[in-house]
Amino acid sequence: MQKYAISISILFVALSLQIKPLSAQTESPLSLDPAKVEWFKEAKFGMFIHWGLYSILEGSYNGRTLPDTTLKNGRSWYAEWIHTRLEIPVKEYQGLAKKFNPVHFDAEAWIKEAKNAGMRYFVITSKHHDGFALWNSKVSDYDIMNTPYKKDILAQLVNACKKHGLKYGFYYSHWQDWEHPCGAWPVWMPPVRSEEQFERYWQEKCLPQVKELLVEFDPDLLWFDTWFEEHHINPKRRDELIALVRQNSSKCLINGRISFSDPGENIDFLEMHDNSYPKEILDKPWQTPATMTHSWGWHAKDYNWKSSSRMIGYLMNNASKGGNYLLNIGPKPDGTFPAPAIQRLREIGAWLYTNGEALYGTKPVKIDVEEGVYLTQKEEKEETYLYITLTEPLKELELKLGNNTIKSCSLLGIGMDIPYSNKGKSVIIKIPERVFSGCSIPVIKIILSRNT
């Protein structure tokens, strides 16, 4: 009886604490504590994956290969757009679900490859524009459970990320959806949805699926996608989606492409344009999503592979401007990574094995240098370590170091001394030719005493 009385009084106190205006109960703050973005700023390098039904077609359909300029809208390498670019009838495209059977998919193999490459987080297309979900979605039958494969891809990858210590997130196409009868299609392609129609898609598919991703998988970030003409994604819908994320997660970061033209104040990091590399230091956390070829999804005839040195240059450019590099792989339909992608991941990982010190734990440096030279720094007790990544052969480099005194100047990893001389408040570094014959992207490490 006494126990009953205590429970009643606890219930009464709890209820009285809950008496707030209805609006206060449903509202949640739209912004996240900036401390929760620290891991992202420190991570520097992540893996992006574009994988779905389009991967089966490998960039070609019915004798045509992307880009195909004979079709009105065929001019694109993006194989994940093949449905609309090569005008594949909806039924036929959606029928690809019956063929998706990646028997060689091994989540651990992917995540180990990412980790060995020096990547610290992982982002995969949970649903791209075609509307197909790579997880067991209770919201839509257009998902992995309706394929011969029938196993939740995201669940396996999340487990592998947790096991190997990578943060993880999901790309979710919240605007374009070519499967739901009211989802948005490209502007150049009918049907154009009315606001009412789009709202139906928004309520029936987008919001419930995003909630499902948050509740089922507890992601570290969500990667939404828009570019310029994001009809329907107005500030009201943008904030509704942000609120949904905040209500269901106290840690999940949101990228700026939730509304590229008007991301507002409450996103956690900016997303550059595809393969775009800023030349200035940006204060807000940011990243560049980048491809190894032209296409994001697997395209068997896209032979435009970038060299690993070029990609290391992008990585270090971004680090020197305070940003991250999210490098994409388009896995094959059988679930394996293309061999040239693995080769590049391993080459980048090998470079970072020696030179990772110039990337991880560093900050940008506000000293002007020529294009192709990237500066990063970190503070250690009384010293500052300054790293100079050289992506082009150079004989001499002048650096305005102010009042700082150089304690040592050497080649990172190898340890060879690099000659230098003082010139007023500058230092002139003489770079021996053999530095470049040993490694195409050498890093010079300067140890400075902080005198100022």
Residues that bind ligand FHN (CB under 6 A): 78, 80-81, 225, 227, 274, 289, 296
Rank residues 76 and 266 by Cβ distance to ligand FHN and give the closer one.
76
State how far the alpha carbon of 420 is from the alpha carbons of 212, 299, 377, 411, 430, in Å: 58, 48, 19, 13, 6
Pairing of strands 426-430, 443-449: unpaired
Rank residues 223 and 420 by Cβ distance to ligand FHN and give the closer one.
223
Shortest spacing between CB 290 and ligand FHN, in angstroms: 9
CB 151 within 8 A of CB 203: no
Burial class (CB in 10 A: 0-12, 13-18, 19+), 360: middle
Shortest spacing between CB 274 and ligand FHN, in angstroms: 5
Residue nearest ligand FHN (C-beta atom): 289
Rank residues 105 and 175 by Cβ distance to ligand FHN and give the closer one.
175
Please state, in angstroms and rounded to a whole number, the distance separating the CA atoms of residues 201 and 206.
7
Shortest spacing between CB 212 and ligand FHN, in angstroms: 21
Rank residues 113 and 271 by Cβ distance to ligand FHN and give the closer one.
271
CA 86 from centre of chain: 27
Please state, in angstroms and rounded to a whole number, the distance separating the CA atoms of residues 127 and 105.
18
Rank residues 59 and 356 by Cβ distance to ligand FHN and give the closer one.
59
Shortest spacing between CB 269 and ligand FHN, in angstroms: 14
CB 152 within 8 A of CB 144: yes
Rank residues 84 and 146 by Cβ distance to ligand FHN and give the closer one.
84
The residue type of 314 is Y
Shortest spacing between CB 78 and ligand FHN, in angstroms: 5
Rank residues 184 and 373 by Cβ distance to ligand FHN and give the closer one.
184
3-class SS letters over 270-301:
EECCCCCCCCCCCCCCEEEEECCCCCCCCCCC
Rank residues 45 and 387 by Cβ distance to ligand FHN and give the closer one.
45
CB 256 within 8 A of CB 206: no
Please state, in angstroms and rounded to a whole number, the distance separating the CA atoms of residues 281 and 364.
7
Rank residues 85 and 246 by Cβ distance to ligand FHN and give the closer one.
85
Rank residues 80 and 212 by Cβ distance to ligand FHN and give the closer one.
80
Shortest spacing between CB 377 and ligand FHN, in angstroms: 30
Shortest spacing between CB 286 and ligand FHN, in angstroms: 13
Rank residues 83 and 321 by Cβ distance to ligand FHN and give the closer one.
83
Rank residues 78 and 198 by Cβ distance to ligand FHN and give the closer one.
78
CB 441 within 8 A of CB 390: yes
State how far the alpha carbon of 44 is from the alpha carbons of 66, 121, 231, 303, 447, in Å: 32, 9, 32, 27, 23
Structure tokens at 69: 């300029």
Please state, in angstroms and rounded to a whole number, the distance separating the CA atoms of residues 44 and 288.
10
Shortest spacing between CB 224 and ligand FHN, in angstroms: 10
Q: Cis before residue 333, ω within 30 degrees of 0?
A: no
Q: How much is the CA Rg of the chain, to the nearest whole Å?
A: 25
Shortest spacing between CB 109 and ligand FHN, in angstroms: 23
Shortest spacing between CB 170 and ligand FHN, in angstroms: 12
Shortest spacing between CB 439 and ligand FHN, in angstroms: 31
Burial class (CB in 10 A: 0-12, 13-18, 19+), 44: buried
**Residue whose token pair is 């000659």:** 419
Shortest spacing between CB 112 and ligand FHN, in angstroms: 24
**Residue whose token pair is 């449905």:** 83
Please state, in angstroms and rounded to a whole number, the distance separating the CA atoms of residues 425 and 420.
13
* Direct distance between the N- and C-terminal alpha carbons of the chain, in angstroms, rounded to an integer: 73
